[in-house]
């Protein structure tokens, strides 16, 4: 249990740093020519509202994850010897199934009235930067984290190293797709395609590009731009 809590804390802290770096890059003159939009406009929201929302959306997933571990559901996360191949397979399986669930949840959020109201909060960010990844309704936040944990519980057991990598990709991808910048160098350049795809969802056509971790499900269901 202690290992898991350390992993959850480390992943959230490292991705906090990633978010801070990407937010800085979005406004930095050296990356100005690489921004998807020339002017670094995001949205006019009272800074206190933004801070309150970000704090709440930080506390919610941490509380849900800690409750998941403390209530004993984390028995689906196991320790012991494991190969890298097993880790990669488990991470790919959980994230692919999660992304399928998220794809449909997000797609319904653009067609079902009651869900549209909730999801509209996030779409106030027409030209998002990394910190807008936190600007979502807290119901949507609870739904996303719960979807990941239900997927994990149904597909488990998985190794604790697989959980660490899976959880890092899950949190980092949500930040990276909102970067608003096509980075010229690796490793961030690796995520330019996904960031561009999600920018298209915010700026160009909200009825396309519903998945967040890969383009796979949008291609399968014919909704990629
Ligand atoms: Zn959307």
Map out the domains of the chain as residue ranges: 2-220
pTM above the 0.85 mark?
yes
CA gap 170, 7 in Å, rounded: 13
Average pLDDT rounded to a whole number, residues 137-154: 93
Ligand 1 center to residue 109 CA distance, Å? Answer: 7
CA gap 115, 134 in Å, rounded: 18
Average pLDDT rounded to a whole number, residues 70-97: 90
pLDDT score of 99: 96
pLDDT score of 173: 93
Ligand 1 center to residue 108 CA distance, Å? Answer: 9
Ligand 1 center to residue 65 CA distance, Å? Answer: 24
Residue 16 Cα distances to 28, 71, 113, angstroms: 18, 26, 33
Ligand 1 center to residue 27 CA distance, Å? Answer: 24
Question: Of 51 and 221, which is predicted with more confidence?
Answer: 221
Question: Of 37 and 180, which is predicted with more confidence?
Answer: 180
Hey, which residues does 166 pair with through a beta bridge?
A: none
Ligand 1 center to residue 101 CA distance, Å? Answer: 14
Q: Give all strands (DSSP E) within 79-192, no chain letters.
A: 158-159
Whether the per-residue pLDDT at 138 is higher than 70: the answer is yes
In sequence order, which residues have a C-beta less than 8 Å from that of residue 20 and are 6 or more positions away?
none
- Say if residues 20 and 58 touch (Cβ distance below 8 Å): no
Ligand 1 center to residue 152 CA distance, Å? Answer: 24
Confidence of residue 176 (pLDDT cuts 50, 70, 90): very high
Average pLDDT rounded to a whole number, residues 82-106: 96
Question: Of 139 and 202, which is predicted with more confidence?
Answer: 139
pLDDT in tens, 18-76: 999 999 998 888 888 888 876 666 566 777 888 888 888 888 888 898 888 888 777 88
Whether the per-residue pLDDT at 104 is higher than 90: the answer is yes
Ligand 1 center to residue 142 CA distance, Å? Answer: 16
Sign of dihedral through CA atoms 86, 91, 92, 94?
positive
Ligand 1 center to residue 92 CA distance, Å? Answer: 24
Please return the burial class of 83, using the count of CB atoms within 10 Å of its CB with bins 0-12, 13-18 and 19+. exposed
pLDDT score of 53: 87
The secondary structure of residue 35, as a DSSP letter, is B
Question: Of 203 and 15, which is predicted with more confidence?
Answer: 15
Average pLDDT rounded to a whole number, residues 125-147: 88
Confidence of residue 132 (pLDDT cuts 50, 70, 90): confident
Based on its alpha-carbon atoms, the radius of gyration of the chain, rounded to whole angstroms, reads 17
Residue 222 Cα distances to 98, 104, 122, angstroms: 19, 13, 24
Average pLDDT rounded to a whole number, residues 105-134: 88
Ligand 1 center to residue 211 CA distance, Å? Answer: 9
pLDDT score of 205: 77
Average predicted confidence (pLDDT) for the chain: 88
Closest to 93 measured CA to CA, from 224, 209, 213: 213
- Say if residues 209 and 178 touch (Cβ distance below 8 Å): no
Closest to 77 measured CA to CA, from 102, 61, 63, 94: 94
pLDDT score of 32: 84
């Amino acid at each position: 249990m202690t290992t898991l809590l350390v992993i959850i804390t480390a992943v959230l802290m490292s991705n906090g740093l990633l978010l801070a770096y990407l937010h800085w890059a979005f406004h930095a003159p050296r990356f100005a020519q690489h921004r998807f939009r020339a002017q670094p406009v995001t949205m006019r929201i009272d800074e206190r509202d933004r801070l309150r929302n970000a704090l709440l959306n930080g506390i919610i997933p941490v509380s849900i994850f800690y409750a998941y571990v403390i209530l004993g559901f984390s028995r689906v996360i196991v320790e012991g010897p494991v190969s890298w191949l097993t880790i990669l397979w488990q991470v790919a399986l959980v994230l692919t199934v999660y992304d399928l669930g998220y794809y449909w949840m997000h797609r319904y959020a653009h067609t079902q009235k009651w869900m549209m109201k909730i999801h509209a909060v996030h779409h106030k960010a027409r030209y998002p930067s990394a910190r807008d990844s936190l600007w979502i309704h807290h119901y949507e936040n609870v739904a996303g984290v719960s979807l990941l944990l239900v997927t994990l519980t149904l597909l488990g057991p998985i190794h604790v190293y697989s959980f660490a990598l899976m959880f890092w990709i899950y949190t980092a991808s949500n930040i990276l797709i909102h970067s608003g910048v096509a980075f010229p160098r690796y490793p961030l350049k690796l995520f330019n395609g996904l960031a561009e795809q999600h920018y298209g969802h915010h700026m160009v056509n909200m009825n396309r590009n519903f998945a967040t971790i890969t383009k796979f499900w949008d291609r399968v269901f014919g909704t990629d731009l």
